[in-house]
Amino acid sequence: MMLLHVSGQGKRGYLIGKVAQVEEDAPGFDSWCIDDSIFKGWLIKTMEPDLCKATYIAQGGRDIASYFAELKSVWLKLNHCHPINMKCLDDLKI
């Protein structure tokens, strides 16, 4: 669904990694920043709320078991959305 929307907006290159960041002093930098921000906004809007909180999870005053249980839950959801399939030993280096 995201690919369809992004392609329709002419921003497919951002999704597939073909649009490189423009140097800060280059003429097209401001335009690139605007497009990049729009694209990041689309990504954030399509994320599941439970997965968004992954960047804010902290142990705080909780015991390690409950903290780890919450992390594991988020990791499982992330893996379900985007499984990592190892192809060879070189993948382990990444």
Each residue of 45-66: pLDDT tens digit? Answer: 877 776 667 778 889 999 999 9
Count CB-CB contacts under 10 A for residue 6: 19
Each residue of 36-46: pLDDT tens digit? Answer: 888 888 877 87
The domain segmentation of the chain, as residue ranges, is 1-46, 49-94
The contacts found for 77-83 with CB under 8 angstroms, 24 or more apart, are 77/48, 77/50, 77/51, 78/51, 78/54, 81/48, 81/51
Residue (of 56, 44, 47, 57) closest to 78 by Cα position = 47
Radius of gyration over every alpha carbon of the chain, rounded to an integer in angstroms? 18
Cα distances (Å, whole numbers) of residue 28 to 13, 16, 81, 89: 16, 20, 34, 39
Over 70: is that where the pLDDT of 67 sits? yes
Residue (of 26, 76, 28, 71) closest to 53 by Cα position = 71
